[in-house]
Amino acid sequence: MLELGQNAPKDGGGADLIKETNEANFMADVVEASREVPVIVDFWAPWCGPCKTLGPNLEAAVQAAGGKVRMVKVNVDENQQIAAQLRIQSIPTVYAFHQGQPVDGFQGNVSQSEVKQFVERVAAQGGDGGIGEALEAAEEMLTNGAAADAAQTFAAILGEDADNAKAFGGMVRAHIAMGELDKAEALLANAHDAVKSAPEVEAARAQLELARQAAEAGPVDDLRARVEANPDDHQSRFDLAQALYANGQTEDAVEQLLELFRRDREWNDEAAKQQLLRIFDALKPGDPIAQKGRRRLSSMIFA
């Protein structure tokens, strides 16, 4: 299971993923361990020809599962009591345990593709290994201002699942929150194909662009005074929206941009519309500010 807030490396390839056990440790290595993550048990013997093919195929598939399932090897010649208790009639025999109980299995050698399907099926019974819970915790940290802790947790999730777009986008947003804009930009520049076009990553990209703009925003009071003195000063209104967003006043920023769009939708190549869409993309899905703003913008466009 993923340890929240810990920058844990991916569990692939470690001794904990694949091990041999005996009668003294079977309960701990298999039954108890399966309450944390599914455990596949390979019953084999040195003289068993098919075992020499099946065993490596199982190990490879377990390694590829990246910690979502573990494997325990039982030499039946050295552990006859276990074999007798589980009524092993022939080898190779493979059992899968989850929550302390056998849940799947097969006898004899099978093809590599069948091994892969079996391991994936068993791994799925264990859920996501706590990743969903860790994502929720990291998002809560970020919301509460603990950006460094959030970044560490997102990193731990990526250690478990390198293709997790939510964690990757969250990592970028955490660095933005810490003011590490160059680091956030570097992460986005090096995003691999599996995540770079995901909505969560696009949202982080939009947030980075807004953060870059916010760094150059002027004082809110001065800009507001200019707008009040001249409501048709579109540049000052646009700058005011940037400054408001930079100060966490997202709804007010949206209001200013909607007013700018209402006054002159073509100004500066539809800058108000583009900025609104950028803000909406940066907000979380279902955010009420984004939903309301999109409806109002649409009503203006199609009026």
Q: Tell how strand 39-44 and strand 93-98 pair up.
A: antiparallel
Catalytic (active site) residue 48: yes
Buried b (16+ CB within 10 A) or exposed e, 125-145: bbebbbbeebbebbbebbeee
DSSP string covering 223-238:
HHHHHHH-TT-HHHHH
Burial class of residue 28 (count of CB atoms within 10 Å of its CB; 0-12, 13-18, 19+): exposed
Per DSSP, the three-state class of 178 is: coil
Nearest one of 238, 236, 237, 248 to 211, comparing CA atoms: 248
Q: Are 137 and 152 in contact (CB under 8 A)?
A: no
Rounded CA-CA distance 19/13 in Å is: 11
Q: Are 131 and 164 in contact (CB under 8 A)?
A: yes
Q: Tell how strand 101-107 and strand 93-98 pair up.
A: antiparallel
Which residues are bridge partners to 194 per DSSP?
none
Which tokens sit at 4?
């929240």
Q: Is the dihedral of CA 128, 130, 133, 137 positive or negative?
A: negative
Burial class of residue 302 (count of CB atoms within 10 Å of its CB; 0-12, 13-18, 19+): exposed
Q: How many helices (H) and strands (E) does the chain have?
A: 15, 5
Q: Which of 2, 51, 94, 115 is catalytic?
A: 51
Distances, alpha carbon 134 to alpha carbons 5, 10, 156, 255, in Å: 8, 15, 9, 35
Q: Which of 37, 48, 227, 283 is catalytic?
A: 48
Residues with active-site annotation: 48, 51
